[in-house]
A and B are shown apart, each in its own frame.
Chain A
Amino acid sequence: MATLLSLPFGFAVAYIMTYKKTRGMVVLDVLVNLPLTLPPVVVGYLLLLLLGQNGLIGKWILQPLGIKLIFTWKAAVIATAVVGFPLMVRSIRTGMEAIDERLIQASRTLGAGWLDTIITVILPLSFRGVLAGSILMFARGLGEFGATIIVAGNIPGVTQTIPLAIYEYVSSPSGDAIAMSLCIVSITISVIVLVFHEWLSRRIVRAD
């Protein structure tokens, strides 16, 4: 869900970063990539400060609307989305940068507006980048632990993800077998996803 929700935003941010060359782009670049270098626990803590009852968004936007995010599955989705977002944006951007600028110019001179060009030229030609970015983000989301446990807790059946469950079973005296089973499930999914990603990456070729 985090991957699906992030997709339109990731595409939009990648588009802006690829095609809008202005001075403020450095700030956006740093902001987007910050979760990649920050410890996930820090990201989770910052999200808690932002979305919590006394947070900027939590107090002034969410509370008046009666929305509670912290310690719900929605918080887990947000944490996963924030942590994986840079990976998605980077992949889509790589796909977009591989598109020859002349193809975009050709589209415009043939009467297509910018949105039309995005839909009919940029999206299809960066599709492999979009797909690769989505897979990378999904894979990153599978392993997400630090940010999730802080904003969503570890509530079985509600906010407990595979890594959180493994953590819990490893901590309990008789949970080794289940923890190992979950590890195998986790490894299998990751291997499948990464092999698929590698296969796709090799097929990303420069358009035209």
Chain B
Amino acid sequence: MELYFDAQKKLNKFFLDMNFTIEGDRIGIFGPSGCGKSTLVGLIAGLHHPDRGLIRVNGQAVFDSTEKVNIPVEHRRIGMVFQRPHLFPHLSVKANLLYGYKRCAPGERKITLENLVDVLQIGDLLHRGVNNLSGGEKQRVAIGRAVLSNPRMLILDEPLSALDLSLKFQIIPFLKKSCEAFSIPYLFISHSLTEMRIMTDRVLSVVDGRVSGLMTAEELARDAMGKGPVPYVNLLQLKGPRRIDGMQAYRWGDSELLISGNGKEQALYELLSTDIILFKRHPEAISARNLLRCRVSELFEAGSRIGVVLACGDEKLVAVIVRESVNDLDIKEGVEVYAAIKATAFRELG
């Protein structure tokens, strides 16, 4: 997907003025609430019209004020999943799913109901009314409805923000799987750094109706860490635990991680960079259950702090320490350190 945007829109006191070109299949739009993310995607989808400018999707102008081009929203083939499911309450699940499919030209119907039902595991919901579904089921149907309209791209407008944490991480795999299985590029809108790192490769950062940067999700997380007290969050996808002394032992790189609690067969954990303590030498006695021998592969500035990228076999972790600690421990690229992590420092996301 290639998206070119150079347009302006005035809405009461808010003024959106953006100019960017972005390529990729997993693009994020990140920014605080009220910065213009939803307005921007509304302009791309055709729900709102810019005052002037040019918007091109894959080389096709969907809006061009100079050439008087304004493709109606229903012909842009840009599907949307909103913050809330917004299913049609008067239709069954099946009728909701087929709403867009029926309006798609027969030659463009590459995704069928049967394929979709398998991916989203919604076969048993088809004949139910939408008011009888749980929050997670509703959002899965909303994703399916947008996907089944066979769009050339999807706009995921904060589709996880209305869900609680556990539900959020139940929906993410479905969201990723349905876009990957049917090769649909997407724009993912969120103000969550964690969601951005899971869902996107490149991120457009937006502030006050303007583009403030274009970077990878990883760079965005590091950038945010430098701008405020936000800790970097390590995301660890772990599987196949062994049970040891009431804890779960997961294989991770060339080490083993001990995590307290009842771990699942496969789980996503978060670990804050501030929860990692570095030692220059092997400590004599320590209460933390995880002591990893790592090599410092990179150091980066994060405001007044320093981010330390630790290579543990093939896996990487980011720890954050103050500048004085870097000097005291003489931490530099290539040196070996020990990283201590408490078993209770890991938080299961889903």
Contact = CB atoms under 8 A, between A and B. Distances in A.
Given A105-B47, A106-B80, A106-B82, A111 B104 contact: yes
Interface residues of B, number: 26
B149 A108 contact: no
A29 interface: no
B103 A124 contact: no
B72 interface: yes
Contact of A103 (B72, B86, B146): B86
A112 interface: yes
Interface residues of A, number: 19
A15 to B, nearest CB: 18
A132 B51 CA distance: 40
Given A105-B47, A111-B74, A208 B86 contact: yes
A46 to B, nearest CB: 40
Interface string A77-115: 000000000000000000000001011011111111100
A118 to B, nearest CB: 13
B149 A110 contact: yes
Nearest to A110: B100
B78 interface: yes
Given A102-B84, A109-B79, A124 B149 contact: no
A207 interface: yes
B113 to A, nearest CB: 14
A105 B45 CA distance: 10
B103 A112 contact: yes
Contacts of A207: 89
A208 B99 contact: no
B72 A113 contact: yes
A62 to B, nearest CB: 40
A75 B268 CA distance: 74
Given A103-B86, A106-B86, A207-B89, A111 B149 contact: yes
B179 interface: no
Interface in B45-66: 45-47
A116 interface: yes
B68 to A, nearest CB: 20
A110 B146 contact: yes
Contacts of B78: 109
A102 B80 CA distance: 10
Interface in B70-106: 72-80, 82, 84, 86-90, 99-100, 103-104
Contacts of A108: 46-47, 73-74
B145 interface: yes
B103 A111 contact: yes
Contacts of A120: 99
Interface string A164-208: 000000000000000000000000000000000000000000011
Nearest to A117: B74
B87 A208 contact: yes
Given A105-B47, A111-B149, A121 B79 contact: no
Contacts of B104: 111
A112 B86 contact: no
A124 B90 contact: yes
B42 to A, nearest CB: 8
Contact of B88 (A103, A109, A111, A116): A103
Given A107-B99, A111-B103, A208 B146 contact: no
A43 interface: no
Interface of B: 45-47, 72-80, 82, 84, 86-90, 99-100, 103-104, 145-146, 149
29 contacts: A100-B86, A102-B82, A102-B86, A105-B47, A105-B80, A106-B86, A107-B99, A108-B47, A109-B46, A109-B47, A109-B73, A109-B74, A109-B76, A109-B80, A109-B149, A110-B100, A110-B103, A110-B146, A111-B100, A111-B149, A112-B74, A116-B74, A121-B88, A125-B89, A125-B90, A208-B84, A208-B86, A208-B87, A208-B89
Given A107-B88, A111-B74, A125-B90, 13 more contacts: A102-B82, A102-B86, A103-B86, A109-B73, A109-B76, A109-B146, A109-B149, A110-B99, A110-B149, A112-B99, A116-B103, A208-B84, A208-B87
